[in-house]
């Protein structure tokens, strides 16, 4: 079923190109591992199991990692009400609603398709935003579900996950297995090098897609709600509050930055900003300001 979120041809093309390039990289990676490890059965089985788990259970994994739980309407009537209205306007299935008892203000969407999606918000977000700002954030997350880029980013991140696991496996195996012959050491070194290269390439491809999809979700949410200034206000408020949260409290969350409404970065992100999963706040606000002008809305952050 096609939702009423405005389609984004450029997002669709970028998702297709990213998956194609990652697919080629995946095939090359699997071939290299088979040659190096001399066991195609082991490589294929491990890859299939990891991909299946990530695709089918990504929503449960994300909720578990972020201490989120599914909530019913009786517990959070306002949250359910906003999602109900947005789903009715967008003509799309209502996702499962979850809340994480974290002070960090944020939200994320996950799931393999619109019929199996979850939207989770933190208690810190609910406490800080007014109803119009919350509507903007939830519309942003629903846009990810409607455009299916949540599923794409989940599958796309699989290659980086398996490459990272191979790097750790090779590293710890070399540390704890004692002395080896030169051939074994050469194989481990080759696995380590190939895995590191694949991880770096997949990292860059995913970052390029992730930044654009965030701009696309902002744009779609602003057009669906007709209140880009409310979304701009939420972005400004959430980004400022996250910057004040101690870095040690953000470390658990940073692994899921690609899925968040805004990244969990500390006060001085430094180089992290260059490799962020999200475009700079200024770029997002500039886009929303242009949409405000197009819609004839006063581009004043915080206006309901």
140 is in an annotated binding site: yes
How far from chain centre, in Å, is Cα 215? 13
3-state secondary structure 147-168: CCHHHHHHHHHHHHHHHHHHHH
Q: What is the DSSP string of 104-148?
A: S--EEEEESSGGGEEEEEEHHHHHH--HHHHHHHHHHHHHHHHTT
Q: Which of 135, 141, 282, 294 is catalytic?
A: 141
CA–CA separation, 191 and 185 (whole Å)? 10
Q: Which burial class, exposed, middle or buried, applies to 193 when counting CB atoms under 10 A from its CB (0-12, 13-18, 19+)?
A: middle
Q: Which burial class, exposed, middle or buried, applies to 290 when counting CB atoms under 10 A from its CB (0-12, 13-18, 19+)?
A: middle
CA–CA separation, 285 and 183 (whole Å)? 55
Catalytic residue flag (residue 268): no
How far are the Cα atoms of 27, 30, 188, 199, 296 from residue 39, in angstroms, in the given order?
A: 15, 11, 14, 21, 63
CA–CA separation, 48 and 38 (whole Å)? 17
214 is in an annotated binding site: yes
The H or E element that residue 81 is part of is helix 77-90
Catalytic annotation, residues = 141
Residues annotated as binding site for Zn(2+)? 140, 144, 214
């Amino acid at each position: 079923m096609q939702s009423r979120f405005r389609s984004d041809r450029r997002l669709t093309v970028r998702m297709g190109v990213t998956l194609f390039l990652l697919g080629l990289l995946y095939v090359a990676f699997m071939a290299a591992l088979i040659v190096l490890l001399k066991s195609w059965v082991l490589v294929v089985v491990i890859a299939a199991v990891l991909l299946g788990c990530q695709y089918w259970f990504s929503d449960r994994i994300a909720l578990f990692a972020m201490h989120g739980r599914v909530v019913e309407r009786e517990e959070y009537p306002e949250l359910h009400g906003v999602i109900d209205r947005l789903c009715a306007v967008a003509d799309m299935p209502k996702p499962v609603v979850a809340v994480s008892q974290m002070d960090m203000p944020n939200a994320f969407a996950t799931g393999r398709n619109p019929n199996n999606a979850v939207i989770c918000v933190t208690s810190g977000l609910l406490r800080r935003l007014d109803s119009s700002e919350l509507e903007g954030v939830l519309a942003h997350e629903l846009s990810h579900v409607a455009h299916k880029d949540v599923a794409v980013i989940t599958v796309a991140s699989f290659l980086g996950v398996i490459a990272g696991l191979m790097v750790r496996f090779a590293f710890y195996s070399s540390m704890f297995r004692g002395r080896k012959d030169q051939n074994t050491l050469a194989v481990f070194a080759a696995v380590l090098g190939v895995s590191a290269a694949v991880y770096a390439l997949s990292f860059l491809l995913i970052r390029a897609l992730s930044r654009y999809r965030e701009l696309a979700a902002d744009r779609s949410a602003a057009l669906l709600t007709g209140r880009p200034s409310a979304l701009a206000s939420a972005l400004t408020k959430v980004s400022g509050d996250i910057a004040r949260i101690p870095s040690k409290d953000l470390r658990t969350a940073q692994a899921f930055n690609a899925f968040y409404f805004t990244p969990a970065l500390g006060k001085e992100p430094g180089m992290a900003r260059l490799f962020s999963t999200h475009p700079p706040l200024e770029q997002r606000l500039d886009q929303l300001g242009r949409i405000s002008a197009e819609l004839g809305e006063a581009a004043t952050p915080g206006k309901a």
